[in-house]
Amino acid sequence: MTKIAFFDTKEYDKKWFDKYVSDDEEITYFESRLKTRNAQVCQGFDVVIAFVNDELNADTIDAIADMGVKMIALRSAGFNNVDIKEATKKNIIVARVPAYSPYAVAEHATALLLASVRKLHHSYVRTREFNFSLNGLVGFDLHGKTMGIVGTGKIGCIFIDICKGFGMKVIAYDPYPKADLDCEYVSFEELCKSSDMISFHCPLTKENKHMVNDESIKNMKDGVVLINTSRGALVKSSALLKGLRSKKIGAAGLDVYEEEAGLFFEDKSNAILDHENEILTLLIAMPNVIVTSHQAFLTEEALQKIADTTLNNIRDFVNGREVVNRVQHD
């Protein structure tokens, strides 16, 4: 029997994992996020299933290794919250779900773009109060505009196709360009200068953390629209706030935020957010900002794929097969 500890559990997670778990696997669900201070609950478990906001730093990994954990199965594509070097040192296998539904994320980015440009969030609130005025709701055509796409992996490529369907000109930046992609690659600096809208579809690395900062925003077109469905720390939140206040940035659609841990995926409707979340509070209050709580992945198809792939990663490890989705230290 493979004993699995599942952290940061939501109702939709349990539904799909219960559907695909086998008789040889026993999952214990924990609503709390995995951190160093609660790592002792991993005693007796073989595998930990973790998500993007679980804190798998060196201290946590050391603690769960002492508890006997031999594998961290991420139910996400990103792994920037895991100290891969320490996991390797402790002989803990780390695996991920490299792709669950790139369509889900690309389509959500499109939804954020359309809502931002056509001010749909304001229309929704107004009409619920029987206010049918169109004042202040003027948007602009996407057709003929230039979309800058950062990252041309699976999600980025699908988003490119969507943008072309709207009749947009598309340019892209990626440190590892694809030779066969029907798209013009430019430097990130050139992308900032030329794009009416910019959408991010890349993993977070040491090199691209805070790639949207005071300097890069200065190089952008006046009124640029920013869409981020990748990782929050690609965008320096204080610089984004400054850019919005100066009206250099015309609008922002954010599904991720650099300090989202402990907030996103949780109900904070009755809480008063502390000073550490002041920037997020100010961003949400802005009329030209739309924030969704890391829900771009959240479709039936994606949840099914996540559960299936995560459990298959575990089975490959338990049965001594190659773990094809393993994440290894460089």
Sheet holding 25-29, edge to edge: 25-29, 2-6, 47-50, 71-74, 93-95
DSSP state of 326: B
* 231 classed as catalytic: yes
* 215 classed as catalytic: no
H-assigned helices in the chain: 11-20, 58-66, 84-89, 102-118, 120-128, 154-165, 188-194, 214-218, 237-245, 278-285, 300-318
* 294 classed as catalytic: yes
DSSP state of 272: -
- Integer angstrom CA distances of residue 138 from 44, 257, 259: 59, 27, 32
DSSP state of 212: B
Active-site choice (294, 301, 322, 329): 294
Active-site choice (25, 107, 258, 260): 260
Active-site choice (231, 275, 278, 326): 231
Distance between CA atoms of 133 and 131, rounded to whole angstroms? 6
How many residues appear in the chain? 330
* Bridge partners, residue 253, by sequence: 227, 290
Q: How many CA atoms lie within 13 A of 52 on its CB side?
A: 24
Catalogue the active-site residues. 231, 260, 294
